[in-house]
Structure 1
Amino acid sequence: MSEDKPKKNTNPFTILKDDSTDGHGGYGVGAISLENMSPVIVDPNEDRAFVDMGAMHARSEIERRVKILPNKDEVPNGKLYWIVWVTVEKSENGPFYAGVCGSEIRVDRSIKRAYKSMPEHVTHMDKSLKGKIMLEHMDDHSKKLLKDFLVDFNEEMWNNSSRELKEVLPK
């Protein structure tokens, strides 16, 4: 087996799933569905962005083996990362990135500690599900990484997305 072959993109990005509340009237009707949401980790330190579904349960690659603290002062040398909550919806033109909200996380592996504001993450997840764009607080380099990832992942979805998203992310 040759190691020169390009690695196939096996990204577990949650695009669209069936609606669990499609009229069956059973358990869970009216509950909020996270099926169309995917967490994208933006790592400006390593110039990369990737989907990590573990972030849905605070178990992403960057959150493992560290204790999460609610006070940023306790992680003064933490490396900056963003967990960007991306919700995909479908319109007459096809699927698009509907809600995109970035949440800060700082990780210091040397002391096995990380800062993360759980209320902020929950709020951003909720806003993303409601189709909001909240990225103004992110640095330009991280926003460029996010934009490149979204375009590379599915250019059609990017093209179908709102003008607001395209204006918030750098050209």
Structure 2
Amino acid sequence: MQKLSLTGSTKHAADDQLRGLSVLFLDGDEVFIDNGAIHGKSRLETGVKFVQNRAEVPNGRTVLGLWITLHRFPEGQGFYGVQPFELFLDKEAQVGYKNLVEQVKGMEKAVRGEVNLAGVPQAARQKIVEYLQKVRPDLWQHAQPAFLEAMTSLGD
């Protein structure tokens, strides 16, 4: 008898390419895409027990995450929506805090093309801009104007 594979894959497979919805992290000086975060399975989240109260994370560090979406414009595919979120992690203690409700709301807004980088410092934006321009200059070139303006504005 032949065994049918109805679920496709038994392991979560997340490549690090920009898709319709992607997650970009800024962890210290490192900028990277980890689409496993869409399902709460990024390399940062693996092995971490998430708690309900940020105060329960003894020596946490803040990691900036961005939901980034793409859209096909008449000129070509480009960056569309962006919404920030934070992870507060203590990898050594394997504990962390994230506001899942706010993350889901931010993801939905990014999918709708809403752009918000309020609270994201200019230095962080610059690192993200450099990364996105290097990884996919074509998507940067065709980004919606609100995305470009938010990424390159001088305000925090």
Q: Which residue of 1 aligns with 2:34?
A: 52
Query: Number of paired residues?
Result: 139
Equivalent residue for 2:25, pick from 41, 57, 67: 41
Displaced runs of 4 or more, over 6 A:
none
Equivalent residue for 1:152, pick from 123, 131, 134: 134
Residues 86 and 101, structure 1, Cα contact 8 Å, conserved in 2? yes
The CA deviation string for residues 110-130 of structure 1, in whole angstroms up to 9 with x for no partner, is: 221111000011001000100
Partners in 2 of 1:68 and 1:140 — Cα distance? 29
Instruction: Give the CA deviation at 1:76.
Output: 4.9
Equivalent residue for 1:13, pick from 17, 23, 33: 17
Partners in 1 of 2:59 and 2:111 — Cα distance? 32
CA 1:144–1:112 in structure 2 vs 1: closer, same or farther (change >3 Å)? same
Give the letter aligned to residue 118 of structure 1. Answer: L
Alignment root-mean-square deviation, CA? 1.7
Q: Which residue of 1 aligns with 2:121?
A: 139
Q: Which residue of 1 aligns with 2:68?
A: 86
TM-score of the two chains, using structure 2 as the length reference: 0.81
TM-score of the two chains, using structure 1 as the length reference: 0.74
Partners in 1 of 2:58 and 2:121 — Cα distance? 18
Partners in 1 of 2:86 and 2:131 — Cα distance? 18
Give the letter aligned to residue 49 of structure 2. Answer: K
Show structure 1 runs of 5+ residues with no match. 1-10, 16-35
CA 1:111–1:12 in structure 2 vs 1: closer, same or farther (change >3 Å)? closer
1:105 aligns with 2:105: no
Q: Percent identity?
A: 26
Residues 70 and 118, structure 1, Cα contact 8 Å, conserved in 2? no
Instruction: Give the CA deviation at 1:105.
Output: 0.6
Instruction: Give the CA deviation at 1:162.
Output: 2.4
3-state DSSP of counterpart to 1:169: helix
The CA deviation string for residues 106-154 of structure 1, in whole angstroms up to 9 with x for no partner, is: 1112221111000011001000100011211222232222211211111
Correspondence list, 1:123-134, <5 A: 123-134=105-116
Q: Which residue of 2 aligns with 1:66?
A: 48
Q: Which residue of 2 aligns with 1:18?
A: none
The CA deviation string for residues 19-71 of structure 1, in whole angstroms up to 9 with x for no partner, is: xxxxxxxxxxxxxxxxx10111221x2x1211112101111011111111232
Comparing 95-104 with 158-167, which one deviates more in the overlay?
158-167
Show structure 2 runs of 5+ residues with no match. 1-14
